Structure 1
Amino acid sequence: MDLDRDLAALRPLGGFFVLRTLPGPPGAAGPWRLPALADGYARVPPSGRDPVAARVAVVGERLRTAEPRVAASLAQQGLAARLWSAALGCAVLYGRLPDLDPRLLRWDVDATAPDDLWLTEVRALPGDAATLAATVLHGHLEPLTAVLRARYGVAAGLLWGNAGSALAATARELGRWARAHGRADVAARTRALTGELFAHPLLDATGVRTGASFRRRSCCLYYRVPGGGLCGDCCHTRPPG
């Protein structure tokens, strides 16, 4: 199925999967004025509001944590989940993937899904695992990992664990939707693509998969948030300390 201008097939999956597309000509008011994700990945961000620093600050404020490393981890996990959801959702429903080049995605760091990411142009790419890896892992999560390690000292293994956890959660949600709607084809394609992605060198050591379940080998640090605890796939059985 060809990609449509509004990526409408994602809507039945729920708001976390939806990827907004920008109406109107380039440079129009509204989300067109937001920074591109590429601005946040730059070693020297463009002048003005640094989107990565701003997002980390927003997450820290909302979760009431004074630890920048914790806020950076959870901000990255949230963005990873949004990228996997839109990308894998399109791959299994359309059989195609929209080009999610960081220069094409506008980022509202103050907003929650589905108003956080806006795609400026829909360009179709193959919906295979290699393209998914190139788009999400190499196009986004590698440069974001480098930025967060350099600025906040977050361990690489933790950040890649977040990426694996976000992918596993996305696959589970797609599987639930497929079963509820009698879409065996979607379930099968989700399993196949997820299996190939977890064989990628950046993800294969992030955790242990048993069917649809996933047990990561690292901790996202959510237990350090006031009132937080352990996530369902955490490597710990009780909060450290």
Structure 2
Amino acid sequence: MVLLTFVDLDPGLAALRPLGGFFVLHTGAPPLAGLPTLARAYAPAAPAVPAKGYADPMDFRVRKVARSLGTPEARVAASLAHQGLAARLWSVALGCAALYGRVPDLDPRLLRWDPDGSAPDDLWLGEVRALPVDGLDAVVREGHLVPLTAALSARHRVSARLLWGNAGAALASSVRMIDRWARTGGRRDVADRARTLAAGLFAHPDLAGTVDPATGRRRTCCLYYRVPGGGLCGDCCFDRPPGRR
């Protein structure tokens, strides 16, 4: 039996920093004034008053990803933008749950985001408020991934099943990163906790079956192979890019 020890969330969530960039969550006010909240980014229609010039923050991000990757296909850029955000949200929440035994309140109205930032996506949490660890699913899947998936699916005609595949793959990747860090640092308790929590999250119908538990390969494709010069991700469901020999 592994004894799990937890500490309260600290104001800067400092314990996340050694895990890498996908886990870091800035706290306090962002250095740029007027950055939109994720609630605004998920909104079905552009707000009447733009934030920092972003009439539609999510559309801005999709266009930025498309330009960066040189893809003319908006749905490909939308899928990859979605996966980037999903990876950040899962990493922060699961990392806190495994390390602290608490989950920060990541209400989309409290999280500010820079659509023009680099990857991993820059996020700022205005106030650190601890929630019970059993609220992990509500914090990420319900609070973020449901509205994010709905917004991108409706705007860019990306399959919702593909986007939930992104979410599942991002969750599995977060578990692997936590596991590597924990084993290197002799924190088996953290690795075990992350795997247990993730197993519960994968039981939800939105995420169930998105990743093969035996191989770690996802069961849908994020479309990265359609990016000029792109190939297959390490967990891709394909053995070779479709349409290529």
TM range (shorter): over 0.9
> Could you list the per-position Cα deviations for residues 44-72 of structure 1 after superposition, in whole angstroms to 9, with x for gaps in the alignment?
23132111001101111111111000000
Name the counterpart of 1:66: 72
Amino acid at match of 1:194: A
SS at match of 2:127: coil
Q: Pick from 127, 133, 147: which aligns with 2:137?
A: 133
Name the counterpart of 1:222: 224
* Superposition RMSD in Å: 1.3
Contact preservation (8 Å) 2:88, 2:121? no
Name the counterpart of 2:179: 175
Does residue 129 of structure 2 align to residue 123 of structure 1? yes
Q: TM-score scaled to structure 1, two decimals?
A: 0.93
Structure 1 residue 149, shift from structure 2 partner: 1.1
> Could you list the per-position Cα deviations for residues 113-171 of structure 1 after superposition, in whole angstroms to 9, with x for gaps in the alignment?
5661110111110123xx11111111111111111111100001100000000000000
State the distance in 1 between where 2:10 and 2:164 align: 32
Report the more deviating stretch, 151-160 or 45-54: 45-54
Structure 1 residue 214, shift from structure 2 partner: 1.4
Structure 2: give runs of 5+ residues left out of the alignment.
Answer: 1-6
State the distance in 2 between where 1:204 and 1:192 align: 15
Report the more deviating stretch, 111-120 or 13-22: 111-120
Amino acid at match of 1:39: R
Cα 1:88–1:32 shift into 2, 3 Å: farther
Contact preservation (8 Å) 1:99, 1:123? yes
Structure 1 residue 112, shift from structure 2 partner: 2.7
Does residue 34 of structure 2 align to residue 30 of structure 1? no
State the distance in 2 between where 1:149 and 1:8 align: 35
Count, aligned residues: 232
Name the counterpart of 1:92: 98
Name the counterpart of 2:163: 159
Name the counterpart of 2:25: 19
Q: TM-score scaled to structure 2, two decimals?
A: 0.91
Structure 1: give runs of 5+ residues left out of the alignment.
Answer: 24-28
Alignment of 1:186-197 (within 5 A): 186-197=190-201
Cα 1:119–1:90 shift into 2, 3 Å: same
SS at match of 2:103: strand
State the distance in 2 between where 1:194 and 1:234 align: 20
